Amino acid sequence: MPERQSAPTAAPPGPAASAAVRAVALTKAYGRGDAAVTALDGVDVAFDRAAFTAIMGPSGSGKSTLMHCLAGLDTATSGQVFLGGTELTALRDRELTLLRRDRIGFVFQSFNLLPVLDAQENMLLPLQLAGRAPDEQWRRDVVARLGLGDRLHHRPHELSGGQQQRVAVARALLPRPDVVFADEPTGNLDSRSGAEVLGLLRGSVREFGQTVVMVTHDPVAASYADRVVLLADGRVAGEISAPTTDDVVDALRTLGV
């Protein structure tokens, strides 16, 4: 493992500075003293723009913690996180809240749709909360690509799990975020619906130039990505470019999964 360097005070020049999101010497510890647990141990990693990256590793490897720190949902113990040229780890709470609202999209395992709103209202909710009008052409493009045109006025209980997750993907895409973070987005879906959602995330990268960072435990899901970043014991343990399911299974086996 290369020697870790101390975090710089400003974004260093070079290819890493053009990444959509990146971590520099990122450490996250929970608890204190003898009870302290280090979830992330000096992680240096960058995620390219307009690319689909999966984060994988054994249970307890730090993959969800890494995503939460990258997305500004959790605070770092030390190190830095950059969204483009903005250092998230230097922002105050209100600044971070506004950044998450305006520049980050989320897709969760449990769809997190409001049951009293129909599909279209759920899709548009983040924009409405931000006081922004939707780009109507962009809304039509996203709805058409996700196949939701005949489901816009259905409430969540009237939709299948796959359709609900498509609504959640649309909700994440409509504000045109810098990055969409997906946390086990197929975990509550059957294999067919899961493949549909993964294809849609893949399509958002190819067709819309979206950046997607996904945490998953599923080698099949990871095979939809351009790249897999592997974590073990809170550190980057390797990566796979253009992964196949077999590539991912083999890599996880070496990590003891």
- 104: domain CATH number? 3.40.50.300
pLDDT, tens digit (0-9, with 9 covering 90-100), for 45-76: 999 999 999 999 999 999 999 999 999 999 99
* 28 falls within a domain: no
* 166 falls within a domain: yes
Given a cut of 50, whether residue 119 has pLDDT beyond it is yes
Identity of the residue numbered 74: D
Taking all residues of the chain, what is their mean pLDDT, rounded to a whole number? 90
Q: What is the DSSP letter of 111?
A: -
Characterize the bridge pairing of strands 179-183 and 86-87. unpaired
Rounded-to-integer distance, Cα 20 and Cα 49, Å: 5
pTM comes to 0.89
pLDDT, tens digit (0-9, with 9 covering 90-100), for 159-212: 999 999 999 999 999 999 999 999 999 988 999 999 999 998 999 999 889 999
* 80 falls within a domain: no
* 38 falls within a domain: no
Rounded-to-integer distance, Cα 157 and Cα 240, Å: 39
Rounded-to-integer distance, Cα 227 and Cα 86, Å: 24
Rounded-to-integer distance, Cα 119 and Cα 113, Å: 8
Q: How far is CA 69 from CA 27, 85, 87, 185, 241, in A?
A: 10, 16, 12, 18, 23
CA atoms within 13 A of residue 195's CA, in its CB half-sphere: 3
What number is the average pLDDT over the span 110-117?
A: 94
Which domain does 195 fall in, by range? Answer: 48-60+91-254
* 8 falls within a domain: no
E runs forming strands in 184-249: 212-215, 227-232, 235-241
What share of residues in the chain are helix, strand, coil (percent, to 5)?
Answer: 40, 25, 40
- How many independent structural domains does the chain possess? 1
Q: Give the residue carrying structure tokens 């105050």.
A: 92
Of 12-16, 143-147, 165-169, 241-245, give the lowest mean pLDDT range: 12-16
Per-residue confidence band for 17, with pLDDT thresholds at 50, 70 and 90: low
Radius of gyration of the chain (CA): 18
Q: How far is CA 126 from CA 59, 62, 130, 200, 230, in A?
A: 32, 28, 6, 20, 32
* 37 falls within a domain: no
